[in-house]
Amino acid sequence: MPTFVFSTDRPTDLDVDVLVLPVFEGPEAGPGVKDVKGIDLLALFSAAGSKGKRGESLLVPNTGDKALRAKAVLLVGVGERSDADPDVCRRAIGRVAHQLAKRKTAATTLPQIVSSKEQVDAVQATVEGVLLGSYRFDRYKSKKDGDASRLGKVTILGAGKADAKASKEAIRRGQVIAESQMWARDLVNTPALDLPPAELAKAAQAMAKEVGITSKVWTEPELKKGGFGGVLGVGQGSIRPPRLIELRYSGGGKGAPIALTGKGIAFDSGGLSIKDATGMEWMKSDMGGAASILGTMRAIALLKPKVNVIAAIPSAENMPSGSAIRPGDVLKHRGGTTSEVLNTDAEGRLVLADSLAFLAEKKPRVIIDTATLTGACMIALGTDIWGAMGNDRELIRDVLAAGDAAGEPGWELPMHEPYRKLIDSDIADIKNIGKRYGGAITAAMFLREFVGDVPWVHLDIAGPAFAERAGDYWPKGATGSPVRALVGYVLSKADGARTS
Ligand code: BES
Ligand code: ZN
Ligand code: MN
């Protein structure tokens, strides 16, 4: 991992391998471009056919400008000046992160493209973009690409009047959050064969120990005693038994905690209601919710906000076998509510029912769950946007705001009450499927049955958790989303948090 330093030096004074400078649409010189006098950077950029649009870049070697100490300038298009925001910085640097990884030192003026009010957030986003953009998962490659990042030092250049203390804190935040998000990516990218519930629990406990938070893992007999019929039922078709992972971060004295849970299905074959081959291809990612919560806990533990956070993550493997639950079976969840399982592929809600009920018992101030829950949510919102559904306006508003601020946007879907009857069961308290239409909403309504009167929001991350195509700062595969949004939310609720 490179080290990041903050500086208000002139960009031309930095003796670095590459200096990354933004160009607005026009092309129009971004911060630092005009400081370079001996080379007409903008003319070269134009001559290469570039207009300053996002995605354009041009590497200009320093062939003899003595006043410019950098060995090369990398010009990157950032689009319209008026649209510049922290996410534009994250994406712009993310797109060239692999080029930076080949060099030892780099510097950039990117955060200076935003308004002074957003500078600090832009510094954080730029750090995140460098790290997240250079992520790769090559643990299973016998021949590594050979160009693992060589980047040793990145200088983030702020405007002359920048707040150095706040910027340095932003650098540390960006680093911790990006590293935690990449750790979450690793968990999701790891093949299910190598990450059954017990291994996920081990990884969580190792993390907890490393960052100094308390953990407890519930084994199968303990889950039985505790009445976790949903986790046990979903897991009983697999030879690899389920777990519940409990984590606790205490930074807020006696205050009621923020409670988090995430769907941790090690592999979702669908169970006896089995998926087809293409439907199963990426189902190692069905613990993306769990990974996002674990990544969030890691970041929180390292950033130490003044707030309490607890997590309870259910993990099971959904497999078809002679011991698997059958369509028509009834499970009894933590707290006593019963559910009729009419489709064993609607398993996420069955495991989350238990963890939500368990967390509600602890009287937290809010509960947030993340889950790769429904294909229906992907149909509604596409691959990039998570769906938010809950029982509390303020909480929904706050998580949506945190998502927007972090460049991990969500959108609310309505808890349309007439749909509730779609999950009425003939023989149990509720059934685990509604109709095909509105599937994301009936899934959320199922979850709502288990939170009592605790303010709660459910994030359906079936789309954003896993990318079938590479993006600006993520390769194909796990994204680690929405770690940044969740950490942002928790930090905003800490005592002494920035309120603007
Ligand atoms: N894990 C899936 C949802 C999913 C699908 C996530 C595609 C990411 C990509 C979930 O367990 C599931 O199978 N949901 C079913 C529910 C249905 C049976 C009511 C679905 O969405 O089809
Ligand atoms: Zn699933
Ligand atoms: Mn399923």
Q: What is the pLDDT of residue 220?
A: 98
Q: What is the pLDDT of residue 162?
A: 77
Residue of minimum CA distance from atom 3 in ligand 1: 374
Q: What is the pLDDT of residue 143?
A: 83
User: Distance from the CA of 108 to the center of ligand 3, in angstroms?
Assistant: 44
Check 90, 103, 349, 431 and give the catalytic one. 349
Q: What is the pLDDT of residue 496?
A: 87
Q: What is the DSSP letter of 195?
A: -
Question: Taking Cα atoms as reference points, which of 165, 181, 35 lies closest to residue 107?
Answer: 35
**pLDDT digit string (tens) for 229-265?**
999 999 999 999 999 999 999 998 999 999 999 999 9
For 69, other C-beta atoms within 10 Å of its C-beta total 15
Q: Which atom of ligand 1 is nearest to the CA of 372?
A: 6
Ligand 1 binding pocket includes 246 (Cβ within 6 Å): no
Q: Which two tokens stand for residue 143?
A: 């021949």
Check 54, 168, 275, 448 and give the catalytic one. 275
Instruction: Establish whether 349 is a catalytic residue.
Output: yes
The residues, any chain, with a CB within 8 Å of residue 498's CB and separated by 6 or more, are: 492
Question: Rounded distance, CA 27 to CA 34, Å?
Answer: 13
Amino acid at 47: A
Ligand 1 binding pocket includes 433 (Cβ within 6 Å): yes
Residue-level length of the chain:
500
Site to substitute for ligand 1 among 341, 374, 431, 459, most atoms within 8 A of C-beta: 374
Instruction: Establish whether 90 is a catalytic residue.
Output: no
Q: What is the pLDDT of residue 147?
A: 59
User: Distance from the CA of 337 to the center of ligand 3, in angstroms?
Assistant: 21
Residue 167 near residue 6, CB atoms below 8 Å: yes
User: Distance from the CA of 282 to the center of ligand 1, in angstroms?
Assistant: 11
Q: What is the pLDDT of residue 497?
A: 84
Question: Rounded distance, CA 31 to CA 274, Å?
Answer: 55
- 65, with CB counted inside 10 A (0-12, 13-18, 19+), is middle
**pLDDT digit string (tens) for 273-304?**
999 999 999 999 999 999 999 999 999 999 99
Residues (pLDDT < 70) of the chain are 145-147, 499-500
Q: What is the pLDDT of residue 41?
A: 97
Q: What is the pLDDT of residue 160?
A: 79
Half-sphere exposure (Cβ direction) of 291: Cα atoms closer than 13 Å: 30
Helices 164-189 and 119-133 pack at an angle, to 10 degrees, of: 30
Q: What is the DSSP letter of 385?
A: -
- 140, with CB counted inside 10 A (0-12, 13-18, 19+), is exposed
Q: What is the pLDDT of residue 500?
A: 53
